Each structure stands twice: as C-alpha cells, then as structure tokens.
Chain A
Amino acid sequence: MAEKVSPIEALPPASREYGEIGPVSEAPRWGMVVDQERCIGCWSCCVICKSENDVPLGMWWNRIDTVGDALDTPYLEQGELVMHWLPLACQHCENPACTKVCPVQATYPREDGVVMQDSARCIGCRFCLVACPYGVRVFNWGRAERPTDFDTGMVEPRPIGTMEKCTFCVHRLTDGQVPSCVWSCPAQARTFGDLNDPESRVSRLIRERGGSQLLEERGTDPRVYYLPPRRKRGLEA
C-alpha cells in the first residue's frame, strides 16, 4: 500500500483557510449543521465523499434524499408545490443504536463523539446495519469494484465482508480541516464545528435557526442537525 500524501498540504492558502475548522474548545464534540434552505440537491458532497474515502461502486456513505415521494420532484403542501432535500450520512449519534449491538465492539464512539468503524475487527454480522435507523451504513458484500484500477482518497480501502461508514473524515480532522462534504458544497449548506462551544457557528446556527435532529423521537440524539427551509416559495399545483 503506497503511502497516502495529504493533498491538503498542496492547497492554495485561500482554499486551505476555507476548509479550516477554526478555534475549538478544549474537548470538542464534533457536529454538523445541514441547511435544507441552501441545499440544491446536486450530490457534489456525495461524489467527493466517494473519492475522498475510496468508496467502491454501488456503495455510498453519503446521499441526498428528496423529501416527498419521488426523486428531485416537488410535493404538495397546503396547495403549493414545494421541494427540498435531505442530505443523509452517518448522524454520529450521541446515543448510537449501532455501537450498542456490535458483538465485538468493532464500531464505537470516540471521545470527540465520532462514531468509528474498525474494519480489522468487524466480523460482518450486520447487526449495526439492522440497528441503525438512518440506513447510512454500508456493507462490503463482494469484492470492491472501482471505476479506476487504483485506489483513490485518503484512507485505506476496507476488506470484503466488513462494514463501513462515514467517519466525519477523521483523517482531515487531525489536519484541522472540515470533512470533504462540508468543504465541497457549492451552496455552503453544510457547517462543521464544535458543539461543546456555545459560540461556535454550528451551536449558533442550531440555536438561532431552530436546528432539529432526524428521527428525534428514537432517542439516538444525532450530532447532525438540520435547519428547516425558511421560505416555501410555492408554485401553483
């Protein structure tokens, strides 16, 4: 396995600065805010996630669901057509359903709250996949297929018969950089930061814009928050 060289080093200063997490508290707990008002459903974050993390064909750690009944199609609300999207990846729950059921502790929450997956320990029982209410974990069902004949991205490829998932790009966090999906969003719909700091951008956005958690009633307490679309610019049905 060739040594992975971080392209972050090679970034022009402006890009590097753009991706910086910024000041954080002593013991950060990482969280993300996704603004449904800003998301345009372009899937850029999903595509960069695949190349950043070397995710094989047929597997996605990150996806854009369309709210409603059909892909990229408006739905009717109070006589008006509305359309918005729900970008969905691991919610890095405070009370994860997946880590509890793992029989070998191959998936576990880190100190900073990132829910990790240990590919070397996973036995492939898929209990975590059953337990996760968000459908964001993916299993290596067969041999990995890639569009290129080489590995891409910054992380080791995962072996057959094991589980993998979004890691909040932990390899970028150590460089003080936000996850790739945040950095790459053309609409700047994603914000990443420290939920322990009440003055961080994520904390302020959640407070001021009324951030909510997905499937809050299941009690998993995600650390990904969604900001509701503000304007319902209606088209007549």
Chain B
Amino acid sequence: MSTVATTALPRAARRLSRATLVWLALLAAGLATGLGAWVYQLANGLAVTNMRNPMMWGLYITLFMYFVGLSAGGLIVASAGRLFGAARLKPVVRLAVLEATVAVMVAGLFLLPDIGRPDRAWHLLRYPHFTSPLIWDLTIVTLYLLISVTYVWVYTRADLARAGSRLALGTGTGVADAQRDERVKGVLAAVGLPAAILLHSITAWIFGLQISRGFWYSAVMAPLFIASALVSGTALMILLALIVRRAGRVSFRDDLVAYLGGMLAVFVAVEGFLVFSEMLTAAYPGASFEADPAARLLTGPYAGFFWFEVIVGLVVPFVLLAQRRLRADVRWVALASLLAVAGILVHRVNIVLNGLSYATVPYPPGVSIGTRQPMGSDSFALSLFYKPSLVEYLVALGVLCFGALVFTLAARVLPLREAEHAAGGGAE
C-alpha cells in the first residue's frame, strides 16, 4: 500500500499529519491486540468467550450481520444514484462504494473468529452443502465484495491513470475511455442493486428460516434486514462523508447532507413500521411460540435494549430528520445518524439475544451448558444472560481496527473527489 501511495500520490502520502499518524498508530495497536486475543482464543477454544450451548451465537455473529447491513449504504447510494437519476449523490459515490467494500470485508472477517475450527474453513469450498443458508450467504458476500472492489476501481481508475498510479492497470484517459467507463458503471449499477438486496435477504434467511426459533421464523425478516441495512448504511455514509470532508478528501455542499438526511428519515420510518408489524404479529395471539420472545423483548431482562432501539434508534432520529429546519443543519443530521447507527446495532443485538436466549423445550434443568461448571452450580441452563467476554470484545476491536485501517489508507490513496471534468454537475 505505502509504496503505491508514494509513487501514485506523493504529496498526499508524505503529508501525513500528526493526527493521522496517531490515528494510524492507534488502529495498528488495536489490530495487534485483537490478533493477540484471537491467538489466545485459538489456543483455548471458544470456551474463552461467553457463548455456550444455551446461547450459541454472540457478539461475532451480531457484528457480522451489522456490518453486512452497513455495507448497504454504498452500493445502494451508488446504484440508486445511477439507476434512478439521483445525480446529486455523485460527490459521495466513490466514498460510498469504498465504504461498502470495507464493510462487507469486515463482515466476512467476523465469521472467522466465530467458527470453532478456522483451520477447516476450506471445507466450505471442498464440501459445500447447498441447502445451508450459510453457503448462500458466503457466496453472495464474496460476490458483493468483488462487485464493490470493481466499483471502487472503475470509479477511480481514470483519475488514478491521470495521476500516473500503477493501480490504474493501464487504463486510458481519452474520451472513448470515459464513455466506456460510463457504460461499465451502468452495468455495475444494474448488477449491484439486486446483489445488495440479495445480500441482505440471504443474511436475513440465516435467521428467518429456522423453525426452531419462533421469534426469527417470519417472512418479515428479509424486508426488515433490507430496511435496517438502509438505515445503518445511509447513516454511516453521512457520518463518513462529514469526517472525510473535514479531512479534505471529498467536497460537497451541505444540502447533500440534508438530502441524505431526508432519505434516512424515510428509511427509519420503514424500519419502524416493520419492527412494529413484527412485534404486533408476534404478541397479538398472547400465547404462541412467537409470543414469549416478544414479551421478553417488551418487559424481560433485555427490555432496555429493545426500548433503546425504538426510542433512541428510531423515534428520536425520525423526529430530528423529519424537520426541514433541523435537516438543513449538518450537526443535527450527524447526531440523528449517530443515533440511528447505534440503534441498528442494538436492533441486531436484540435479534440474536431474543432468538437464542431461551430453551425451545422449556422444562428444567434445560440445555447442557457445555463446559465444566464450578462445584455446586448447575451443568444445565434454560437460558443464560449473555454478555461478551473480554476476549470477544478484544477480537472484535481488532477486526474493527483492521477495517478502519484499510478504510483510512484507501481514503488517502484513492482519489475520492469527483474530478471537475466529470460529466454532469455534482450539485443540483
């Protein structure tokens, strides 16, 4: 990376400010800590996490689906901009596709520490079993990553070529080349949008097709995952766009933020509607294998999470963004985006916890925990109150730092700013 940076864009790469250096050093330290924690986990098994048989998936899977969702912003902003003529999104399209690439890569990485035998990950290629939604998901994640990388490259290659970068891989800069790029972008948008919709649907089906889990087994899961992906993806886009603009790597006018904020308000409303519809359907019969998890969400040990999701993650952002006056102020939009990003994270936590945190056969003593328990305590549990262990947090930190590192370096090396010559104005 760094050699390419110095040859391609000498000024940008050499002029690393002190703040950037500190940031990169922090990320590197976080990555090293995470790697250390993962090595510890590999040596001792998943027993060092707080996952057990009664609560078999935890932080890693939650963050996997969260980052799958975060990747939505990218391709949907890029593809919608092209397919539905939202031309004013143009100044942030490159940033959007870069965000999608990094997010889906981080999502894929989160599966690695989750599986008990990462040394056997190649079995997925050697013995794929095509009735498993996990195989569908790995296929679409890989496909989506390839599409995103292609997207980033196609959008930046002309500028890379002009700057004399080797990353341009011999791209020409003539008028014919620009016309061909426009055609390729059209094809990519046509492929990218359905791929994004499939990505979120298939990720939803990992959960939504399980007859054993009443709270998950619902046709609303795929639409809900698309809605929450749109919320978190768009909100993250807004935050990243503001940060990267401050770092001087992109430029756009404030009305773009207001426009994205308006889109976010619509997405939040759709998400809120689907969550309401899901909860009403589950709770209304009063007793069924969906009703109990719904009751737990509303009043049980994890009720705080649910009400945080609803109030902080949905109601407050919507109220803020629905007002034209507040939407015109980037600070309010940024706050609403921050809350929405946090709200969807908690939404993901709620999906995992409430799908898994109870025994499907409700009689005591419940499910065998799976590790030796201290003398005098039970080997079985009907449910476990899950909170991630330190090792889980550190591994997650490592993956997050790796993602941030890749994003930071890519945002420095790649020309994210739309060149002035580009056809069609960036603003209005």
Contact = CB atoms under 8 A, between A and B. Distances in A.
Given A86-B361, A139-B56, A105 B371 contact: no
A205 interface: no
A146 to B, nearest CB: 10
Interface string A193-237: 000000000000000000000110011100000000000000000
Given A67-B363, A135-B360, A145-B372, A102 B132 contact: yes
Given A63-B365, A63-B380, A130-B210, A142 B47 contact: yes
A59 B116 contact: no
Contact of B134 (A58, A101, A121): A101
Contacts of B135: 103
Interface string B20-40: 000000000000000000000
A132 B206 CA distance: 14
Nearest to B360: A133
A67 B129 CA distance: 37
B212 A124 contact: no
Interface stretch (A31-39, A68-76, A171-179, A182-190): A68-76
A57 interface: yes
A126 B115 CA distance: 8
B45 A58 contact: no
A162 interface: yes
Interface string B370-404: 11110000011000000000000000000000000
A129 interface: yes
Contacts of B53: 129, 135, 137-139
Nearest to B369: A58
Contact of B368 (A60, A106, A121, A123): A60
B128 A104 contact: yes
B1 interface: no
A120 to B, nearest CB: 9
B364 to A, nearest CB: 5
Contact of A104 (B111, B127, B210): B127
A161 B46 contact: yes
21 contacts: A58-B369, A59-B368, A68-B364, A97-B211, A101-B134, A104-B127, A121-B123, A123-B115, A124-B117, A124-B120, A126-B56, A126-B57, A129-B53, A133-B361, A134-B360, A137-B53, A141-B46, A142-B47, A162-B116, A214-B361, A218-B211
A139 B47 CA distance: 10
Contacts of B45: 140-143, 160-161
Interface of A: 56-60, 63, 65-71, 86, 88, 97, 100-106, 121-127, 129-135, 137-143, 145, 159-162, 214-215, 218-220
B69 to A, nearest CB: 19
A98 to B, nearest CB: 9
A101 B206 CA distance: 9
B292 interface: no
A160 B47 CA distance: 10
B108 interface: no
Contacts of B338: none
B296 interface: no
Given A132-B212, A139-B56, A102 B373 contact: no
Contacts of A143: 44-45, 47
Given A59-B370, A65-B364, A141-B47, A105 B129 contact: yes
